[in-house]
Amino acid sequence: MGRLVVVSNRVATPTETKGSAGGLAVAVFGALKDMGGVWFGWSGDVVSETVANAGPTLEVDGAVTFATVGLPKRDYDQYYRGFSNAMLWPVFHYRNDLAVYERDEYAGYRRVNAWLAHKLIKLLEPDDIVWVHDYHLIPFAEALRQEGIGNRIGFFLHIPFPSPQVLLNVPPHEELAKSLCCYDLLGFQTETDRTAFHDYIVRCAHGAVEPAGQVRAFGRTLRTGVYRIGVFPDEIAAQAERYESRQHVLELKESLEGRKLIMSVDRLDYSKGLVERFRAFEQLLEKAPEWRGNVTLVQIAPPTRSDVDTYQQIRQNLEYEAGRINGRYSGLDYTAIRYLNQRYDRLKLMSLFRESQVGFVTPLRDGMNLVAKEYVAAQNPDDPGVLVLSCFAGAADELTAALLVNPHDLTGMSEALQRALSMPLAERKRRHEANMAVLRKNNLGVWRDAFLADLRGTPSPSAADAPG
Ligand code: ADQ
């Protein structure tokens, strides 16, 4: 059996891969350790062209090599900040209104993909299988194929795949679809995403999709599948329990003075529906006065991509909304919304989830949303909190025992909060057990192993099998 080569925009640090929290980095590293291999990608550093060209930097840990390259400023701007995060991210999350298309950024996106592929080739062995992650790297396989690489290459999309009518807003949509068809296996988070890709192939690319999911388009044949990313729920439960009596939890408890707690944790991103969430919480306090002074929303949202304009705007909106709502409903000894722009240690987060009565997870669109799954896993089974979850998160397909809400319906969300806050123990337990059973069945190991088994099972491609 060949080695595994993982390619992702950012490569996890060795500490992240050894963390006890059971995250994605740990799962991917587990497969790399078993099969031996390479984890390749951007180091996260912006460097001079000379330094970038001298890369990759190699760090060997047993059978695994971490190989990273820095990016020159222009490449960072065009590939990462520009086309990936100011164009693909908004459109794939159905926010065409926020998308900015610049031709030279798209050219930079392709150039960086080709440059990265070229760098990887020197590390590649003929029977390696290559697993590429996410929207930054759509043209990666095409670039490898153009250099004559005939290995099996799979791609997993962590974010939604938009319906064809939405994808058509990306000017080079056809080139992107053709690039995707250079993979041997495409993995999606949900059946909706996979169907959207199939629809594009049939309606816009004049390709064909066979009932078993085989796709023929642009002169290539490939497979598609649905692989729902998960967590390791029992590990999270044990960690949350272990941390339950630590200082930070005791301090939080004391500061709440018996008030109920609603927890939300997201990267600060417009796709996560934070403004709508704050307003729904405001409606709860407005329409159900008995909760005023008796429930607090803790929103943890560390800023990301702060050099993209739309992220500066969402940050300002949230500061305004939090200030406005707190001005209206907080008291001398009570803060309605505690809004924190910080990263927290994962174990700490899990114990805060366990301490809360409601997990409020309401993205406007989300590929999966691991916070929703972590929230469920972290609960005390004898006295579980309730998950209020957006129907537009991929996780809603599985966590059907959550209270599902439409994040555009503020009244619906505030009603769900009321229901969650007053839900009887028996119902909370029943819902929690049902959700936990799904998390165990579709855990993170299942996601990883199913994708890799299917990739190994794809017919051997040949470099001559180039796109038409
Ligand atoms: P994200 O958009 O980042 O991921 P999510 O799936 O929720 O969203 O994962 C975020 C991770 O970061 C979670 O493990 C969470 O615990 C952690 N995190 C969030 N806020 C944090 C904070 N303040 N401090 C520390 N940790 C924090 C993308 C897609 C998702 C998809 C994942 C995985 O957008 O839809 O589920 O990839 O495929």
* Stronger pLDDT, 243 or 400, i.e. the higher one: 400
Report the separation in Å between the CA atom of 219 and the middle of ligand 1, taken as the mean of its atom positions.
Answer: 36
Ligand 1 atom closest to Cα of 158?
Answer: 38
Mind listing the pLDDT tens digit for each residue in 152-207? 999 999 999 999 999 999 999 999 999 999 999 999 999 999 999 999 999 999 99
Q: Is 10 in the pocket of ligand 1 (CB under 6 A)?
A: no
Residues 406, 451: one domain?
no
Locate all alpha helices (DSSP H) within 153-212, ordered by sequence.
164-167, 173-180, 191-203
Q: Is residue 463 part of a domain?
A: no
- Enter the DSSP assignment of 50: H
Q: What is the span of the domain harbouring residue 405? A: 233-441
How many CA atoms does the CB half-sphere of 257 hold within 13 Å?
Answer: 5
Instruction: Categorize the per-residue pLDDT at 105 as very low, low, confident or very high, splitting at 50, 70 and 90.
Output: very high
Instruction: Categorize the per-residue pLDDT at 450 as very low, low, confident or very high, splitting at 50, 70 and 90.
Output: very high
Closest CA relative to residue 149, chosen from 459, 395, 466: 466
ipTM of the complex: 0.98
Residues 396, 273: one domain?
yes
Q: Which of 89, 159, 368 to mutate to test the pocket of ligand 1 (most atoms within 8 A of CB)?
A: 368
Report the separation in Å between the CA atom of 369 and the middle of ligand 1, taken as the mean of its atom positions.
Answer: 6
- Which residues are catalytically annotated? 158, 366
* Residue 369 CA: distances (Å) to CA of 168, 329, 344, 364, 373: 25, 30, 17, 11, 7
Residues 273, 174: one domain?
no
Q: Which of 243, 371, 444 to mutate to test the pocket of ligand 1 (most atoms within 8 A of CB)?
A: 371
Residues 222, 240: one domain?
no
Please, are residues 40 and 68 in contact by the beta-carbon 8 Å criterion?
Answer: yes
Instruction: Categorize the per-residue pLDDT at 55 as very low, low, confident or very high, splitting at 50, 70 and 90.
Output: confident
Residues 189, 237: one domain?
no
Which CATH number goes with the domain that contains 114?
Answer: 3.40.50.2000
Q: Are strands 152-156 and 37-46 parallel, antiparallel or unpaired?
A: unpaired
Q: Is residue 259 part of a domain?
A: yes
Number of domains composing the chain = 2
Report the separation in Å between the CA atom of 181 and the middle of ligand 1, taken as the mean of its atom positions.
Answer: 28
Residues 167, 242: one domain?
no
The pair of structure tokens assigned to 104 is 């030279």
pLDDT at 104 > cutoff 80:
yes
Q: Is residue 250 part of a domain?
A: yes
Residues 324, 368: one domain?
yes
Q: Is residue 465 part of a domain?
A: no
CA 189, 191, 193, 199: dihedral to nearest 10 degrees?
150
Residues 305, 269: one domain?
yes
Q: How far apart are CA 422 and CA 435, in angstroms?
A: 19
Across the range 421-437, mean pLDDT stands at 98
Mind listing the pLDDT tens digit for each residue in 329-371? 999 999 999 999 998 888 899 999 999 999 999 999 999 999 9
Ligand 1 atom closest to Cα of 395?
Answer: 36
Q: Is 349 in the pocket of ligand 1 (CB under 6 A)?
A: yes
Q: Is 158 in the pocket of ligand 1 (CB under 6 A)?
A: yes
Ligand 1 atom closest to Cα of 374?
Answer: 16
Report the separation in Å between the CA atom of 341 and the middle of ligand 1, taken as the mean of its atom positions.
Answer: 15
pTM: 0.96
Q: Is residue 464 part of a domain?
A: no
Residue type, 130: V
pLDDT at 145 > cutoff 90:
yes
Query: In this structure, is the dihedral angle defined by the CA atoms of residues 392, 396, 402 and 404, taken in order, positive or negative?
Result: positive
Q: Is residue 462 part of a domain?
A: no
Report the separation in Å between the CA atom of 267 and the middle of ligand 1, taken as the mean of its atom positions.
Answer: 7
How many CA atoms does the CB half-sphere of 169 hold within 13 Å?
Answer: 20
Residues 68, 157: one domain?
yes
- Enter the DSSP assignment of 163: P
Locate all alpha helices (DSSP H) within 122-183, ordered by sequence.
140-146, 164-167, 173-180
Residues 181, 128: one domain?
yes
Q: Is residue 254 part of a domain?
A: yes
| H or E element that contains 225 | strand 220-226
Report the separation in Å between the CA atom of 458 and the middle of ligand 1, taken as the mean of its atom positions.
Answer: 30
Residues 429, 453: one domain?
no
Please, are residues 375 and 361 in contact by the beta-carbon 8 Å criterion?
Answer: yes
Q: Is 440 in the pocket of ligand 1 (CB under 6 A)?
A: no
Closest CA relative to residue 467, chosen from 184, 179, 208: 179
* Residue 296 CA: distances (Å) to CA of 32, 319, 371, 390, 396: 42, 17, 19, 20, 25
Across the range 242-260, mean pLDDT stands at 89
- Given this model, what pLDDT does residue 308 score? 85
Q: How far apart are CA 405 and CA 309, in angstroms?
A: 29
Q: How far apart are CA 38 and CA 24, in angstroms?
A: 16
Q: How far apart are CA 419 and CA 413, in angstroms?
A: 10
Q: Is 368 in the pocket of ligand 1 (CB under 6 A)?
A: yes
* Residue 89 CA: distances (Å) to CA of 82, 160, 365: 10, 9, 11
- Given this model, what pLDDT does residue 67 score? 96
Ligand 1 atom closest to Cα of 265?
Answer: 20
Q: Is residue 138 part of a domain?
A: yes
* Stronger pLDDT, 331 or 249, i.e. the higher one: 331
Report the separation in Å between the CA atom of 298 and the middle of ligand 1, taken as the mean of its atom positions.
Answer: 17
Residues 324, 436: one domain?
yes
Using CA positions, which residue lies closest to atom 9 of ligand 1? 370
- Given this model, what pLDDT does residue 464 score? 43
Q: Which of 370, 373, 374, 439 to mutate to test the pocket of ligand 1 (most atoms within 8 A of CB)?
A: 370
